[in-house]
Amino acid sequence: MRIALDAMGGDHAPEEIVAGAVMACNTYKDVKLLLVGKEEEIRRELAKYQYPEDRIKLITASQVINMDESPTRALKEKQDSSIVKGLRLIKEKRADAFVSAGNTGAVMAGSLFNVGRLKGIKRPSISISFPSETGRTVVMDNGANTDSKPEHLLQFAIMGQIYARHILGVENPRVGLLSIGEEKEKGNQLTKESYQLFAKDKRIKNFVGNVEGRDIFNGSCDLVICDGFVGNVVLKTTEGVAFLMFKLLKEAFTRNLWTKIAALILKPYLKDLKNKTDYRQYGGAPLLGVNGVVIISHGSSDAIAIMNAVKAAREAVKGEIVRLIEEEINKDGENDGS
């Protein structure tokens, strides 16, 4: 299995990207990594590690798309960038997946231009796993589409359902539509019209109706669907709350001698709590709906996050997620009234 990795993408590239690549290569023996980026810088980082040299190959890219650049302009002006060249490897069938912690907009736009959408897909979607009381809840879309239509949300649900079942191992994922109340009459025009589509489409196997923001975390559903504007607000708000929570905990446990002693006693439990809310454990978010496996990682990804992003790409390839989505999306989903 060949996975292309954007060695120049992210706040800590190439150091952490290369470190994560080595970790992934040493962990997953069936993976061959194609590190895309500036050869001299990548080789300098690789020289720090022991790794199977036959399973890490360099693909030279002389340009880097920075995090603050306009995606469309950068894609036009930087054809030799690590993002463009990495995505082309999928198009040319030289790689089975692409992973990047770089400019998210450029990865999304570049995926559409270089990899293309699957037949029948109107809009691709970013899916992100959130921690919940019972495990994980997948939320999509998380920013790929800020102005969605009901038929787009329906496709997000179909794709997310397949991802939850075949990659995350949820046999019959419960699908909820994010709204401001559980009643089907609640919500804006988008959610009301989407509700009707979800309720009658046979491809949605376990639609539980409208759900609220708290349901993402209480384990009452496995997949929550919304438009990208709302989903991105949910994501950034959750990140902010998690950061504040751990900051307040740190302040509380370092207040005096007694709180420091309490912190030592609770340290294993606090570590477990941190791991459950740590984005690094999930690695990256798949861009579902494009004709290839594309994983978008957090811009501040370190080596652990990159290793887990490679893991996510590996699982998506092995699970044949692209083929399954294309087959399901092109089925007739209209309810026959019976």
Pair 57, 140 in one domain:
no
Q: Please say whether the beta carbons of 86 and 9 come within 8 A.
A: no
Pair 165, 313 in one domain:
no
Q: Please say whether the beta carbons of 71 and 103 come within 8 A.
A: yes
Pair 160, 225 in one domain:
yes
* The token pair that represents 297 in the structure block: 């990682």
Per-residue pLDDT tens listing for the chain (338 residues): 999 999 999 999 999 999 999 999 999 999 999 999 999 999 999 999 999 989 999 999 999 999 989 999 999 999 999 999 999 999 999 999 999 999 999 999 999 999 999 999 999 999 998 988 888 899 999 888 888 999 999 999 999 999 999 999 999 999 999 999 999 889 999 999 999 999 999 999 999 999 999 999 999 999 999 999 999 999 889 888 888 988 998 899 899 999 989 888 888 887 777 777 666 777 789 999 999 999 999 888 999 999 999 999 999 999 999 999 999 988 866 543 32
Pair 234, 86 in one domain:
no
Q: Quick one: pLDDT at residue 223? A: 96
C-alpha 140/C-alpha 162 separation (Å) is 13
Pair 61, 18 in one domain:
yes
Give me the phi and psi of 86, to 5 degrees please. Answer: -65, -45
Pair 128, 274 in one domain:
yes
C-alpha 58/C-alpha 33 separation (Å) is 8
| Total domain count, the chain | 2
Q: At what angle do helices 303-318 and 15-27 cross, to 10 degrees?
A: 50
Query: For residue 257, is it within any domain?
Result: yes
Pair 179, 98 in one domain:
no
Pair 275, 191 in one domain:
yes
Q: Please say whether the beta carbons of 159 and 174 come within 8 A.
A: no
Query: For residue 284, is it within any domain?
Result: no
Pair 115, 218 in one domain:
no
190-227 pLDDT, tens per residue?
999 999 999 999 999 999 999 999 999 999 999 999 99
Query: For residue 269, is it within any domain?
Result: yes
Give the structural domain span for 143.
123-279
Query: For residue 38, is it within any domain?
Result: yes
Look-up of token digits 């179909």 = 158
Pair 129, 212 in one domain:
yes
Looking up residue 76, the CATH number of its domain turns out to be 3.40.718.10
Pair 129, 117 in one domain:
no
3-state helix, strand, coil in the chain (%, to 5): 45, 15, 35
Query: For residue 59, is it within any domain?
Result: yes
Pair 178, 262 in one domain:
yes
